[in-house]
Amino acid sequence: MQDVDAETLSQMSDITEEELAPRAYRRGDVVEGEVVRRDDEGLVVSVGQKMEGMVPAQEMRLLDPEEREGVVPGQGIAVAILGGRGPDGMLLLSVDRALEEQRWQDLQQCLDDGEIVTGRVTGYNRGGLVVDWRGIRGFAPFSQLAPTPGVDRETAAEGRVGEDAQFNILEIDRDANRLIFTERAIWQRRRAEAQAEMLASLEEGRRLSGTVSSIRDFGAFVDLGVMDGLIPISELSWTMVESPSDVVAVGDAVEVEVLRVDQERQRLTLSLKRTQPEPWDTVHERYHAGQIADGVVTNIVPFGAFVRLEEGIEGLVHISELSPRRVENPRECVYQGQQVRVLILNINPSVRRMSLSYKQAFGL
């Protein structure tokens, strides 16, 4: 008998009784085994201590055809204990259960680390999308999906079937086989990046096309694709606007000009009126000194009355031009809202001023 050296004896003394005793496997345990052989019935796998088990073909469905063909004797493989006995009394094993367990652990790690996973949308129902991740069925509620403006959610969901999409994991309950996905954070981050890129590329005065997305008392918001910009009520028209809805409606396609780019606050201020001719720029095409014109008194002040000839064009009738007699108060001659006829005395487009005469229109 060959002598055993002291080092070997020392190592053997460190082995516990538990390690020397045959292992008692429990149903559901995942163990590392070694492929012994492949046949038509499945795989024969050694799970240690001269114990072999059988993996039936139906317990290898998570392996794609290439992976299944690549399994060879001597290869290490993870299997789960199913319990019961198969051919020749061998322990029944499952590759699928082992892979599924490992994948649930991978999912939990992705949840803990906040990692993005890619799943395939396989269907939808009234609550959201059904998503497959490496053979594990999950669900993405509509409330956790990226918005789809202008498209109802069922139509949008139907169009996504078969799509490989990126998600974060929102919730995992292994005992209930519950896996919930979300893509809102991914969408928000990408939208913020796209907005920052867009703002960095814009300059004041640039023209953009968009669609009116909402209307507020203070103006109208325009959807420019990756972000919305605001048209203040004062920038909707060259004329006085009482309500933005008098000028635009939700869904209108508009061309706007960039007024201000606020990188820090991620805001964009737009103008609609500056894409249109300014009435004063072409005033000489319609009016000239000495012309008689009709208008409406819009405001009365101590020194005279303002008369609107058209939207955006107003002139002043000085108090001295209201009547041939001395007038102490313009209200002695005209009232707000009155239709009047005036004579144009002078036009100065550069300062947007027009001098008018009420009395001279009637030869007084």
CATH of the domain at 334: 2.40.50.140
Are 96 and 77 contained in the same domain? yes
Residue 229: pLDDT above 80? yes
Residue 214: pLDDT above 60? yes
Residue 122: pLDDT above 90? yes
Residue 90: pLDDT above 80? yes
Q: Please state, for a pLDDT cut of 70, what percent of the chain lies above it.
A: 93
Are 139 and 83 contained in the same domain? no
* Mean per-residue pLDDT, 98-102: 88
Whole-angstrom distance, CA of residue 315 vs CA of residue 344: 9
User: Distances from the Cα of 202 to the Cαs of 197, 217, 226, 267, 275, in angstroms?
Assistant: 9, 27, 13, 12, 17
254 with 248: CB under 8 angstroms?
yes
Whole-angstrom distance, CA of residue 291 vs CA of residue 283: 13
Whether 340 maps to a domain, the answer reads yes
Q: Which residues pair with 172 in a beta bridge?
A: 179
**Band of the pLDDT at 279, cuts 50, 70, 90?**
confident
| Token representation of residue 329 | 């108060």
* Mean per-residue pLDDT, 343-350: 94
Q: Total domain count for the chain?
A: 4
Distance, C-alpha 324 to centroid of its chain: 67
Whether 19 maps to a domain, the answer reads no
Strand pairing report for 339-348 and 292-301:
antiparallel
Q: What residues make up the domain containing 311?
A: 283-362
* Mean per-residue pLDDT, 100-126: 93
Are 352 and 308 contained in the same domain? yes
* Mean per-residue pLDDT, 78-100: 84
For residue 364, what is the DSSP state? -
pTM of the model: 0.58
Q: Which residues pair with 262 in a beta bridge?
A: 267
| Token representation of residue 148 | 């789809």
